[in-house]
Amino acid sequence: MLTLQSPALLADTLCAVVRIEIKQELTFERQAFEAHLRINNDLDTLAIEDLSVDVLFEDENGLPVTASFDPDNTDADFFIRIRSMQGTDAVDGSGSVAPSSSADVRWLIIPAPDSGGNNPNGTLYYVGARVGYTLGGEEKAAEVTPDYIFVKPLPLLSLDYFLERDVFADDPLTPEIESIEPFLLGLRVRNNGQGPATDVQIDSAQPEIVENELGLLIDFRITGSRVDEQPASPSLLVGLGDLDPGASRIAAWDMETTLSGQFVGFEAEFSHADELGGELTSLIDDVDTHFLIRHVRVDLPGRDAIRDFLAFDGDFETGIKQVFESNGIDSEVADLSDQASLTLLDNGREELSFTDSAGFVYVRLPDPYAGGKQVVEAFRTDGKVIRADNIWFSKTRNRDTDSWEYWLNLFDINSTGTYLLALENLVLPPTPPALQFITDKQIAEGGRLGFIVEASDPNGTLPTITADPLPDGAVLEDETSSQTLAQYALDWPVRIGQAIIEPDGTYSPYQITFTASDGVLETSQLVEILVCPVWDTDCDRMADAWEQARFGTLDRNGSGDFDNDGTSDLDEYLNGLSVIIAAQPGTNLIAYPHQVPPEHDTCVKLLNAIGATGPSDRLRRLDPTAQAYRTCTVTTTDSDPGHFGITTAEGYVLEVELPHELTLNGDPLCSAPMLAAGINLIGHPQPTAGFTCSSWLETLGSTTATSIHRLEPTTGRWQGCAYYGTQPNQRIAGYDFPILRGEGYLISSPVGGVLALPSCP
C-alpha cells in the first residue's frame, strides 16, 4: 500500500492524500508429492462403511513426523490435503465403499520450509497409512506399508521493495503543465534458503487507487519493467530465472504519476494460498519496504555492474541509510551531510569536501544554483572518477513553504573527503509538450459532455491540441487566452443511439487520442468515453426501469445478490430468472413472460395474485381484431363478457389504485403470435440484453410494424420509436427504450403478420 501526498489547489493550499495498491503475484517451482490409495471392495452384497484413512509420516529414524491439514499450523513438517476422491465421499470415519466397487483417494503433500534440510540429495521420509473400516458390523483395520520420499533442500526468499519518495509531474500550484518524470519501484529478491528457487517470476498488476477522498485528478501506471540491467520491457511480468542459495536478483518497474507529490507511507504484505499450505509451507521469509534515495553503483573491485539501492532502513525521518547491493550484501552508510561544504575555486571548478571516511558515505548539501547546473565530471583527490550514478542534483518540496529545495548529492566508499566537480549550465533539451491528465469519462445518451484540455511546452512554445477520432457531434475548440498555456474545450451533446452496444450486451467506450504538439515533438493520451444507453444511465448493463422495479434504486451495480438466492443481480437480469410485475398507481402495461401456471391462468386469478382487489382495480385485454378492450375485475365471473384467459407473451392493461408487486418465476415460453392490422398489445418473453425498441422495429421491418410504444408507469408518460419517411430514406427515430420481460408494448401494424421474437429459440 502506497500513500501519496500531493498539494491540492484550493482557496487555502492543503495536502490531498491518495492511497494506491499494486498487487503482485510471485511464482516459482517447488517440490510436492502425491499420495495415492485405492481401496477395492470385491464383495457383492456388503459395503465397506465407517471408512477412515490416516496418512502417517516418519523420519529416517522411524520417529513420527507431523503433517497437518491446517495451513496455519507452522509447527508441522508437511501440509497435506485431499486432492481428489472417487468412489467414496469421505475418509474421516464416515465414508463408505459400495459393494463391487473401488474408492480412489489422492492427497497432495507439500513440505514445510525446514523439512528439506541441507543435504543436496534430500532428506528421507516415510509415508504410510492406517485404514479403518467396518464390514458387516465388524470393525477392521489395516496398515499400508510406508513408501519413501526425499525432500530436497528448499529455497527461502526475502523481498526488499524500494520506492522513490518524491515523484514529479504536473504541479497543481503552478499555471503551467509540468512534464511527467518516471520514477522507480525496485525489488531485490534474495534466496536465504538451502535449495534453489526455480523459474522465479513476478507478475504485477497496474496500480489501483483505493482512496482519494478529495477526488484528486490523478493517475498512476507502470510503463515497463526490467531485470538487473537488461533493457526495459513493456511487460508487467518479470522473469528472474533460477536463484541458487545465497543468490539475489534485481527487478524494477518504471512508474509514472500525473501529479507531483511525496510518498509518506509504503507498506507491503504477502500471503500464500491456503490450498497450497498457507503460512505452513510459505517460502517467503520476509518482505520489507524502503524509501529509495538513489539507484547507485557500488564500484568496489569484484562487484557486479548492476546498480544497487541506496535507501533508508526504517522510517524516513529516523531510519539509518543503507546500501542494498544487487548481490545481496547490505551495508550501513554514514551520512556526513552536516560536515559537507561546496567551494567555488579560482579555476571555475567546485570543491566538495567533508571528513575522510572509511566505508560507505553519503552527503547531501544545498545546491547554490537552485537546479540550474549539471555535473560534467567529478574526481576524487586520489584520482578516482565518480560515476554519474553516484553524484547527482535533486529537489524536494518544502511542505511548510510549498517551495522547492535543491540539493547536491554524493555516494562513495572509502572517501578521501575531497572532490573536484566540473559543472555547466543545465540546458533543457527539446522536450515534447506536457498534456494535463484527462480522466476517462462516462455519460448517458441524451446528456452533454464537456471538459477542458490543457497543455504547455517546457521549451516555451504554445502547443496545439488535437483529438482523433472525435465522435459524431463532438467538437474541440481552441479557447486559449495565454501565451504559454493552451486550453481547448471539448463539447459533445450525446445523441440517443450513440452508445456502443456489443452483441454480448456489453458496452464499448469511444477511444479518443488527445495530442499536444509544438510542431516537432508531441505528447498523446488515450481517453475512453463510455456512453451509457438512455435506458441504462448508470452503465451497469441492467435497465433502469428493471432496477427501479426490483430494487427501488439505481445504486446497485449488478455484482450483489439482492434476494440472497446465490445468483448475482446482473445474472438475474440477463438470464431473466425472475420477473417482477411492479404495478404503480394508475395505468400499467404488463405481459406474462412464462408458461402460465394454473394459479394465474385467468384474469381474475392474476388480479388476486397481484393483490389488485380494489373497487377500481382492473385488468384489460385488447382484442386486436375488434380493436376493443375486454375489462376484468376480481368480481368478474367466467360467463361475463369481460372474462378472459392469460396467455404467454400477450400484453394487458393493469389499472390499480395502490402499488402492487408480483414476482414471477419460470422458464421463458417462446411463441410467435400473430399481429392484426392496427394496434396490438404484446410482450416479449425472452429479450436479450441490449435489445431495444429500434432493434425490434428493425427486425420486424416497416411492412410488419410501424411503431412500438411503452408506458412509463412512474411518470405516466408514453415512450415510443417509429419509422419515419419513405423508402429509400426511411429511418427509425424516437425514444430507444429497452425491451424488458414482463412489460407490455403497443405495436402498430399496417397489415398484420407474424410477430418476430428475436432471441427466442
Report pLDDT digits (tens) over 44-98: 999 999 999 999 999 999 999 999 999 999 999 999 999 999 999 999 999 999 9
Indicate if 329 and 383 belong to the same structural domain.
no
User: Is residue 160 a contact partner of residue 187, using CB atoms and an 8 Å limit?
Assistant: yes
- Residue that wins the pLDDT comparison between 609 and 688: 609
Average pLDDT over residues 570-582: 76
Average pLDDT over residues 29-39: 94
In a domain, 627, yes or no: yes
SS3 208: strand
Amino acid in position 62? G
Cβ-Cβ contacts under 8 Å for 696 (sequence gap 6 or more): 684, 705, 708, 739, 758
* pLDDT for the residue numbered 215: 78
- Residue that wins the pLDDT comparison between 680 and 578: 680
* pLDDT for the residue numbered 6: 60
Indicate if 603 and 737 belong to the same structural domain.
yes
Question: What is the rounded CA–CA span in Å between residue 9 and residue 7?
Answer: 6
Strands 284-296 and 157-164: parallel
Cα torsion 606, 610, 612, 617: sign: negative
Cβ-Cβ contacts under 8 Å for 477 (sequence gap 6 or more): 488, 489, 491
**Cα Rg for the chain, rounded, in angstroms?**
37
Neighbours of 500 (CB within 10 A): 13
**In terms of Cα–Cα distance, which of 594, 760, 601 is closest to 669?**
594
pLDDT in tens, 138-174: 999 999 999 999 999 999 999 999 999 989 998 877 8
SS3 434: strand
Average pLDDT over residues 737-749: 90
Indicate if 459 and 472 belong to the same structural domain.
yes
Total domains, the chain = 5
Domain span at 457: 434-532
Last residue of a domain, one of 392, 425, 458: 425
Q: Is the pLDDT of residue 212 over 90?
A: no
User: Is residue 129 a contact partner of residue 56, using CB atoms and an 8 Å limit?
Assistant: yes
Question: What is the rounded CA–CA span in Å between residue 643 and residue 636?
Answer: 6
Indicate if 724 and 613 belong to the same structural domain.
yes
Residue 297 — pLDDT band, cuts 50, 70, 90? very high
* Cis amide linkage into residue 728, ω under 30° from 0: yes
Indicate if 330 and 182 belong to the same structural domain.
yes
* CA contacts within 13 A on the Cβ side of 507: 25
Q: What are the CA-CA distances from residue 80 to residues 112, 185, 277 (Å)?
A: 10, 37, 8
SS3 614: coil
**In terms of Cα–Cα distance, which of 625, 598, 620 is closest to 609?**
598
Name the helix (H) or strand (E) containing 544: helix 544-551
539: exposed, middle or buried (C-beta count within 10 Å: 0-12, 13-18, 19+)?
middle
Q: Is the pLDDT of residue 124 over 60?
A: yes
Question: What is the rounded CA–CA span in Å between residue 90 and residue 93?
Answer: 7
Question: What is the rounded CA–CA span in Å between residue 747 and residue 704?
Answer: 10
Q: What is the DSSP letter of 22?
A: -
Indicate if 322 and 341 belong to the same structural domain.
no
Looking at the chain, the whole-number percentage of residues with pLDDT higher than 90 is 63
In a domain, 538, yes or no: no
In a domain, 556, yes or no: no
In a domain, 638, yes or no: yes
User: Is residue 757 a contact partner of residue 674, using CB atoms and an 8 Å limit?
Assistant: no
Reading the block at residue 475, the C-alpha cell is 467538437
Q: What is the DSSP letter of 446?
A: T
Q: Is the pLDDT of residue 624 over 90?
A: no
Average pLDDT over residues 612-617: 91
SS3 343: strand
Last residue of a domain, one of 335, 360, 375: 335
CATH value at residue 476: 2.60.40.10
In a domain, 264, yes or no: yes
Residues in the chain: 761
207-233 burial string, b = 16+ CB within 10 Å, else e?
Answer: beeeeeeeebebbbebeebbbeeeeee
Indicate if 145 and 204 belong to the same structural domain.
no
User: Is residue 649 a contact partner of residue 685, using CB atoms and an 8 Å limit?
Assistant: yes
SS3 398: strand
Amino acid in position 244? D
In a domain, 77, yes or no: yes
Indicate if 44 and 77 belong to the same structural domain.
yes
User: Is residue 755 a contact partner of residue 700, using CB atoms and an 8 Å limit?
Assistant: yes
Q: Is the pLDDT of residue 9 over 50?
A: no
Residue 428 — pLDDT band, cuts 50, 70, 90? confident
User: Is residue 696 a contact partner of residue 747, using CB atoms and an 8 Å limit?
Assistant: no
Indicate if 100 and 194 belong to the same structural domain.
no
Indicate if 329 and 345 belong to the same structural domain.
no
Phi, psi for residue 573 in degrees, rounded to 5: -70, -45
Q: What are the CA-CA distances from residue 128 to residues 36, 87, 121 (Å)?
A: 10, 21, 22
SS3 667: coil
Question: What is the rounded CA–CA span in Å between residue 262 and residue 445?
Answer: 40
CATH value at residue 404: 2.60.40
Q: What is the DSSP letter of 207?
A: P
Residue 11 — pLDDT band, cuts 50, 70, 90? very low
Residue ranges of E strands in 537-600? 578-583, 586-591
Residue 576 — pLDDT band, cuts 50, 70, 90? low
In a domain, 737, yes or no: yes
Q: What is the DSSP letter of 116?
A: G
pLDDT in tens, 175-196: 888 889 999 999 999 999 999 9
pLDDT in tens, 688-737: 777 889 889 998 899 899 999 999 877 888 999 999 988 888 899 888 88
Residue 416 — pLDDT band, cuts 50, 70, 90? very high
**In terms of Cα–Cα distance, which of 424, 425, 410 is closest to 335?**
410
| Maximum alpha-carbon separation in the chain | 119
- Residue that wins the pLDDT comparison between 13 and 575: 575
Looking at the chain, the whole-number percentage of residues with pLDDT higher than 70 is 97
**In terms of Cα–Cα distance, which of 668, 646, 682 is closest to 594?**
668
Q: Please state whether 566 falls in left (phi above 0), alpha (psi between -120 and 50) or beta.
A: left
Residue ranges of E strands in 228-349? 237-243, 248-257, 261-266, 284-296, 308-313, 320-324, 330-335, 341-344
Tally of helices (H runs) and strands (E runs) in the chain: 5, 55
Cα torsion 649, 651, 652, 656: sign: positive
End-to-end CA distance of the chain: 51
The Cα angle at residue 334 between residues 332 and 336, in degrees rounded to 5: 165
* CA contacts within 13 A on the Cβ side of 332: 8
In a domain, 216, yes or no: yes
Cβ-Cβ contacts under 8 Å for 334 (sequence gap 6 or more): 357, 359, 360, 361, 362
SS3 547: helix
Indicate if 204 and 237 belong to the same structural domain.
yes
Indicate if 728 and 644 belong to the same structural domain.
yes
Phi, psi for residue 398 in degrees, rounded to 5: -80, 110
Last residue of a domain, one of 532, 567, 595: 532
Reading the block at residue 30, the C-alpha cell is 517447488
